[in-house]
Structure 1
Amino acid sequence: MPQGSSHHVVVIVDDNSNPFELGCATEIFGLRRPELGRDLYDFTLCAAQPTTRMRDGFFTLGAVAGLEAAEAADTLIVPNRPDVEVPRPAAVLDAVRRAHRRGARLVGFCSGAFTMAEAGVLDGRRATAHWQWADAFRARYPAVRLEPDVLFVDDGDILTAAGSAAALDLGLHVVRRDHGAEVANSVSRRLVFPGHRDGGQRQFLERPVPDLRDESLGPVLAWALARLDTPLTVSDLAAEAAVSPATLHRRFRAQLGTTPLAWLTGERVALACRLIERGESRLDLVARRSGLGTAANLRAVLRRATGLSPTSYRRRFGPPTA
C-alpha cells in the first residue's frame, strides 16, 4: 500500500493516445502535493518509441522513459485511444501481461479496457468501457464480464473507467483506496471536482440540465449534508424538496445517476471515514455523527463500501499511534 511516494505509477503512452486521459493521470498521480506535506506517488511516463504522436496529431510527445520503465510499476495505466479497431503494438501488450503476472495493479481509462482485453488479462474479470463501444467490446471479447452504463469498475487489481471524465472519478477512487477519504478529498478540492461519485453511477444522464430551475437538487443536497448526524430518510429529503418520494427518486436518477438512499449512505460513509482518519476511535460516536446509527451498522456498511473493518481502516489511514 502506498506510503509517501514509494508507490510507483507508470503510464504507457501509445500512438494516438488521448491527451485528456493522460492529463487526468498526470494531475492525480503526478503532481507534487505540498498542501499534504508529502507526495503520494512516484510517477513516470513511458512509451515504446522515442516520440509518440498523440490523438489526431494534436502534438508529439517525446523525452519520456522507454517501455522498460513499466517493469518497475506498482500501478500501470495502460494506453487508450479512439481507434479501438487498430491492434496495440506487441511490445505494449507484452508489458501489460508482464505487469499483471508480477502482481501490479492495472488501470484503464475509457478505451483502455480494449488494451487489457487484447493482452488477455481480462478474461473472466469485471470491466467497463465507454457506452458507444459496449456492443463491439462484447462481440470481440465475450469472456470479459462487461458492466455497461457505470462510471468505473474496481475488480481488485484491475480497474477500468468508462469514459474521459470518468478517468477523474476512477483516479480519485484509487487515491481514496490507497490513502483514505481525507487525502482524496484534498486532491478533489485542488481539482475543483466532486470528491466522490460512486462507480455504479450511470455513464450519462437522461436530463443533465433540469428543465425547471426549482428542480435542482443543490438545495436539498446542502440541507442533507448539514444534517448527516440526524436520522434522515428519503421521505425527509422529499419533504425538504417539497416533492413526493417518487419524484425525488426520479430527479436523483436524472441529475446524479443514483438513488436518494444510495447517495445518503455514500455521504455518511465518507463522513465516517474522515472521522476515523482524524483519530476518532469511538465507533459508537463515529456511527452517531455520520448518521449510521450503531457501531454494528458502521462495521457492516464500512466493510461493504471499502472492504475494510473500522479497525483495519484506522490502522491504514488513521493518524500514527503515539
Structure 2
Amino acid sequence: MPQDSSHMDPTADPHRVVVIVDENSNPFELGCATEVFGLRRPEIGRDLYDFRLCSPEPSTLMRDGFFTLTGVAGLEAADSADTLIVPNRPDVDVPRRPAVLDAVRRAHERGTRLVGFCSGAFTLAEAGVLDGRRATAHWQWADSFRARFPAVHLEEDVLFVDDGDILTAAGSAAALDLGLHIVRRDHGAEIANSVSRRLVFAAHRDGGQRQFIERPVPDIPDESLAPLLAWAQERLDAPLTVSGLAARASVSTATLHRRFQAQLGTTPLAWLTRERVALACRLIERGESRFEMVARRSGLGTAANLRALLRRETGLAPSAYRRRFGPGAG
C-alpha cells in the first residue's frame, strides 16, 4: 500500500525526497524540486524534507550540454526514497536506461510516492507503473504519449494530476504548482503558503486549471484581475457573489468570466470557493475548533457546507483535517 504522507510527524526524521537526474535532464524542473523540497526553512523552524539528488553516472550532462552535474549520490539512493521524482528530458522518444526504469519499478513496488514533472510522465509510463492510472504531460507531447501508452488515462490541458501515490505535472511552471500541492498535502495550507511566499509564487493554482491560458491584447489600459482578487481576499467572510465581483470591477458578469478564464483559467465562482476553503484550512490549522465559526469566517456559511467543500478539495472532513494539521498534530 502507498505510504500515507499526508500527515508527517514534525518530531520524526524528515520525509526523504530523492530526484533522479539522468542524461539530458531539464535544469528548470530540477530547480523547481530543489526550491520546494531542498531548501532549509528557518522561517518555519524545521526542515520539511530530507532532499537528495542521485544519478546513474558520476557525471551527468544536462539538457543541451548547458552544464555537467557531478558530486551527487549514485542511483542506489533512490532505494531509500519516500518520494521519488523521476527524470525528464526533451527527447521523449529516446528510451530511458534500464537501470533508471528498474529503480522506478522497485520504488513503486515498495509504496514510494512517485512524481513526474513534464516529460517525466514518459519515464513513469516506460516503467509500466502508469498503466490504468491517471496522468498528464506537456500539451505538445499529448498525441505522442497517447500513441505510445494507450493504457494510461492521459488528462490533457490540466496543470497536474494527483492520483494518490503517483503525481504528474504538465511541465515548466506546473512543476512548482505540483510541488506546492505536495507540500500542502503533506504539511497543510499554512506551511504551503509560507513556502509559496518565499518563492514569490501563487500559493494555490488548482490542478484542473488549463495548461495554456490565453492572454489577449487588452482593449483597455489595465484589465488585470489583481486589484479585484486582493479586494475579495480581504472580504471572504462577506456575501460575495459573481455579480458583485463584476460590479466591483465595473464590468458585466460575462466580461468577468472571460477575464477569469483568460488570466486564471478558471471561473469566478470556482476561484472564490477555493479561496474560502483555503482560508478555512488556515483557520483550522491556527486552532479554531468551532466548525460553525470556521464556516462563517471563511464565507462558507454552514458547517455542512464546510464539510462538503473541504472533503471535495482536500479529501478530508474538518475533524480529520484538524487532527492532521491542527495545533499539536503529530
TM-score calculated relative to the size of structure 2: 0.95
Cα deviation code 1:211-230 (max 9, x no counterpart): 43332111211121111001
Residue in structure 2 matched with residue 204 of structure 1 by the alignment: 212
Contact 2:135–2:163 under 8 Å retained in 1 = yes
Task: Report if the CA contact (8 A) 2:60-2:70 is conserved.
Answer: yes
1:164-223 Cα shifts (integer Å, max 9, x gaps): 110000000000000000000000000000110000111121116644333211121112
> Residue in 1 aligned with 2:305?
297
* Structure 1: gaps spanning 5 or more residues: none
Contact 2:86 2:115 in 1 (8 A): yes
Distance 1:321-1:135 versus aligned 2 partners, 3 A rule: closer
SS in 2 for 1:136: helix
Equivalent of residue 155 in structure 1, options 163, 184, 200: 163
Corresponding position of 1:73: 81
* Alpha-carbon distance in structure 1 between the residues aligned to 2:272 and 2:33: 29
Residue in 2 that maps onto 1:3 = 9
Judge conservation of contact 1:208–1:255 (CA < 8 Å) in 2: no
Amino acid at match of 2:9: Q
Q: For residues 250 and 201 of structure 1, what CA distance do their matches in structure 2 show?
A: 14
CA distances 1:251-308 after superposition (whole Å, capped 9, x unpaired): 1001110000110001001100000000000000000010000001000100000001
Q: Is the 8 A contact 1:13 1:46 kept in 2?
A: yes
By relative contact order (CA 8 Å, sep 6+), the higher-ranking structure is 2
Percent sequence identity over aligned pairs = 82
SS in structure 1 of the partner of residue 84 of structure 2? strand
1:141 — aligned with what?
Answer: 149
State the distance in 1 between where 2:103 and 2:244 align: 53
CA contact (8 A) 1:13 1:47 kept: yes
Alpha-carbon distance in structure 2 between the residues aligned to 1:69 and 1:178: 22
- Does 2:317 correspond to 1:309? yes
Aligned to 2:134: 126
3-state DSSP class of the match of 2:309? helix
Partner of 2:65: 57
TM-score by structure 1 length?
0.98
Residue from 63, 82, 97 that aligns with 1:89: 97
Q: Deviations over 1:55-100 (max 9, x none)?
A: 0111111111111111111100000000000000000000001101
Q: Name which of structure 1's ranges 114-123 and 1-10 shifts more when overlaid on structure 2.
A: 1-10
User: Secondary structure of the equivalent of 1:215?
Assistant: coil
Amino acid corresponding to residue 260 of structure 1 in structure 2: P
Task: State the one-letter code of the partner of 1:298.
Answer: L
Equivalents in 2 of 1:90, 1:75: separation in Å? 20
Change (3 A) 1:207 1:284: same
Secondary structure of 2:51's aligned partner = strand
Is the contact between residue 124 and residue 145 of structure 1 (CA under 8 Å) also seen in structure 2? Answer: yes
The alignment status of 1:107 with 2:134, answered yes or no, reads no
Q: 1:209–1:255: 8 Å Cα contact kept in structure 2?
A: no
Cα RMSD (Å): 1.2
Paired position in structure 2 for 1:193: 201
Q: Distance in 2 between matches of 1:169 and 1:229?
A: 26
